[in-house]
Amino acid sequence: MIEAKGLTKKFGELTAVDAVTFSVAEGEVFGFLGPNGAGKTTTVRMLCCLISKTSGEARIGDYDVSKEQDSIKIRQMIGVVPDNVGLYEPLSAYKNLDLYGRLYGMTEMKRRESIQRYLTMLGLWEKRDVPAGTFSKGMKQKLAIARALIHDPEVLFMDEPTANLDPESAKTVRDFIMELKKEKRTIFLNSHNLDEVEKVCDKIAILNTKLMATGTPAELEGMVGARKVMIGLAQANGAVVESLSKKYPGLTASPDGMTLTFAPKDPEGQIPDIVEAVVRAGGRVRSAAVEGSTLEATYLQLVRRDAS
Amino acid sequence: MRLSQAWIVAAKDFATFTKKKNIVYTVLIIPLVIAVALPGVIFYVQHRPNGAAVSAAELTTLLPAFVFFYVIIAGFVPTTIASYSLVGEKLEKSIEPLLATPTTDGEILLGKGIAAFIPPMMAILGSSVLFMGLMDTFTHAALGYYYFPNWDAAAMLFVAVPLAVVMSVEWNVFVSSRVSDVRISQQLGTIVILPLAGLYVGGEVGIVPLGALSTPLYIAGALAVVDLLLLSVVRETFQRDVILTKWR
């Protein structure tokens, strides 16, 4: 549904996005992670035909973002939630959405239905006649999401949709994204929020001007080091290590013998088996946890490595 | 170019402007003041207790110059709307979602142009009707006939004034791309009236024959040339790539 090959944007001497290549399948939620100034917004703007690319290729569906005749068709099939909501504050919530419905060529009846549907879903229907300028940040963000969805787009681009929101509003927005995911919409999500991306996205890309990594959350988590199961013992017991080292080849013990480290293929899935094996071998288990590489660790390591 | 898309943008701007009292007042008050104040001056001079009344010959010089005031305010009145329409949209960050819709740059520009053109034109034409009615009332005795309406005024109001409004709107689009403050944009936007004010002064000191029928047409011709030149600049300035990456 979305495809970029060597997509590059330069502003004079400055390269904002450097030969980025990725693809997003139909119905996939794609997370775009990166620090400030990494080129996330620039990439979204290029994909949405808002700014031109310097080189490379990008397509949305069957349309080429660099072709003038395709750009209108692309903008018809996408919805955009920019990092700044950009509502018409003197106008009511309803009028804000109605304006956009008209720009997308929707009939009055279709507009009315769509506005009611999304304002109700986002809990704003009762406030439909209230000027958008009086809304809280969370309400404005919800209204901006409704605006991006008003014409039922095939692809939704969201740039930091939960940034600057209080936890409750952020959760509402996140839950709504999950609802959209169930509807099999293709969603391109720019975010700083690793936890959010991990929960919501099927695939993640880490960008720092260049694309540092792409993969599923699990693939990225394992990228900079294997995750391990750490078993804390109530007292050191050398016999446990001896009896389990054949079954768990990577097993090591801390110098004081109080912590055992296992390196199974599926750390979370194998915790119960490992705990049971340790108990059978005579160990008294005090704690059990999965430690090691997380999405955050991968992200930080890739971004820092690139910076150094 | 789809006029329907442009009209949606214009209708949105109209709806926004009507909620902004300062814009409504600026668009209405200045033409209203001109419509009442200039006839008021004539009325005062004609009726002051111990002064000489203005002669018929003087009136036929003064009245076309007064009509030229409408060309000057045509360069000024659209400034408030055009500045708010572009700088306001830039400040409120609403331009990006608008650009993300299937609307072309030209359609958005035309919509904004329509929104900045129609209210000042309506206010100026409405004001001119009041102005001419009052002037005729106050000058009929001295002239022996109703001076307005006449072809000079028609040429000024229906040719020169619209062209001056277009010039003002285009100039303000250009200025809006360079500044990020509505007030500064409005101040710079009013620079456009300086050459028009110079023409008025020229008329008053007898260099520019504002009373001749040909004069409004010469002025209109000059304004049309400026409008075309500014249009080419504005079309270069109002491109989504430029708006999102180069506008301040």
Q: In this complex, do A104 and B240 lie within 8 Å of one another by their Cβ atoms?
A: no
The b-or-e profile of A67-103 (16+ CB within 10 A means b, else e) is: eeebbebbbebbbbbbbbbbbbbbbbbbbbbbbbbbb
pLDDT of residue A226: 67
pLDDT of residue B213: 67
From B224, B212, B221, B230, select the one nearest B68 (Cα to Cα). B212
Indicate if the alpha-carbon torsion angle A32, A36, A42, A48 is positive or negative.
positive
Nearest by CB to B245, from A51, A78, A90: name it. Answer: A51
Question: What is the Cα A216 distance to its own chain's centre?
Answer: 11
Measured CA to CA, the distance from residue B53 to residue A76 in angstroms comes to 67
Show the domains of chain A with their CATH numbers: 2-221 (3.40.50.300), 228-292 (3.30.70)
Q: Which residues of A touch B (CB under 8 A)?
A: 11, 45, 48, 50-52, 72-73, 75-76, 78, 80, 82, 84-91, 95, 99-100, 102-105, 131, 144, 147-148
Say whether B210 sits in a helix, a strand or coil: coil
Determine how many CB atoms are found less than 10 A away from the CB of residue A293: 17
Mutation site, A67, A96, A103, A152, interface B, largest B CB count within 10 A: A103
Nearest by CB to A91, from B15, B104, B241: name it. Answer: B15
pLDDT tens over chain A, length 308 residues: 899 999 999 988 889 999 999 999 988 999 998 888 889 999 999 999 999 999 999 999 889 998 888 999 999 999 999 988 899 999 999 999 999 999 999 999 999 999 999 999 888 999 999 999 999 888 898 999 999 999 999 999 999 888 877 888 888 888 888 888 888 889 999 988 888 888 888 899 988 888 888 888 877 776 666 678 889 998 888 888 888 888 888 788 888 888 998 888 888 888 899 999 999 988 899 999 887 667 777 777 777 766 66
Q: State the distance between the two ends of chain B, measured CA to CA, in whole angstroms.
A: 27
**CA distance readout (Å), A282 to A56, A138, A240, A276, A291:** 61, 54, 6, 10, 23
Measured CA to CA, the distance from residue B248 to residue B245 in angstroms comes to 8
**Chain A residues lying within 8 Å of B94, measured CB to CB:** 86-88
Say whether B148 sits in a helix, a strand or coil: coil
Which run of H or E residues covers position B125? helix B105-143
Domain ranges of chain B: 3-245
> Is A220 in contact with A191 (CB distance < 8 Å)?
no
The structure tokens 């990577």 sit at A250
Nearest by CB to A103, from B5, B92, B241: name it. Answer: B5
ipTM of this predicted structure: 0.80
Q: In this complex, do A103 and B8 lie within 8 Å of one another by their Cβ atoms?
A: yes
Mean pLDDT by 10 residues, chain B (248 residues): 90 88 88 92 83 80 86 88 82 89 91 92 94 92 89 90 92 83 81 84 77 77 92 87 77
Whether the bond between A249 and the residue before it is cis, its omega within 30 degrees of 0, is: no
Determine how many CB atoms are found less than 10 A away from the CB of residue A259: 16
Pairing mode, strands A29-33 and A186-191: parallel
Cα dihedral: A51, B235, A102, A155 (round 10): -10
Tokens for B235, please give them.
Answer: 């079309």
pLDDT of residue B128: 95
B86-100 pLDDT per residue, tens:
888 888 889 899 999
Contacts of A58 (CB under 8 A, 6+ apart): A2, A3, A4, A5, A7, A46, A47, A64, A65, A66
Burial class (CB in 10 A: 0-12, 13-18, 19+), A301: middle
Q: What's the gap in Å between the CA of A144 and the closest CA on chain B?
A: 9
Q: What's the gap in Å between the CA of B85 and the closest CA on chain A?
A: 11
Tokens for A159, please give them.
Answer: 């740039």
Per-residue HEC secondary structure of chain A comes to CEEEEEEEEEECCEEEEEEEEEEECCCCEEEEECCCCCCHHHHHHHHCCCCCCCEEEEEECCEECCCHHHHHHHHHHEEEECCCCCCCCCCEHHHHHHHHHHHCCCCHHHHHHHHHHHHHHCCCHHHCCCEHHHCCHHHHHHHHHHHHHCCCCCEEEEECCCCCCCHHHHHHHHHHHHHHHHCCCEEEEEECCHHHHHHHCCEEEEEECEEEEEECHHHHHCCCCCCEEEEEECCCCHHHHHHHCCCCCCCEECCCCCEEEECCCCHHHHHHHHHHHHHHCCCCEEEEEEECCCHHHHHHHHHHHHHC
Q: What's the gap in Å between the CA of A104 and the closest CA on chain B?
A: 7
pLDDT of residue B220: 87
From A90, A94, A54, A52, select the one nearest A71 (Cα to Cα). A52
A179-197 pLDDT per residue, tens:
888 888 899 999 888 888 8
The structure tokens 């102005």 sit at B131
**Chain B residues lying within 8 Å of A76, measured CB to CB:** 102
> Is B48 in contact with B149 (CB distance < 8 Å)?
no
Measured CA to CA, the distance from residue A289 to residue A276 in angstroms comes to 14
Whether B19 contacts chain A with CB within 8 A = yes
Nearest by CB to A75, from B8, B15, B102: name it. Answer: B102
Ramachandran sector of residue B48 (left: φ over 0; alpha: ψ -120 to 50; beta: rest): beta
- Provide the 8-state DSSP code for B160: I
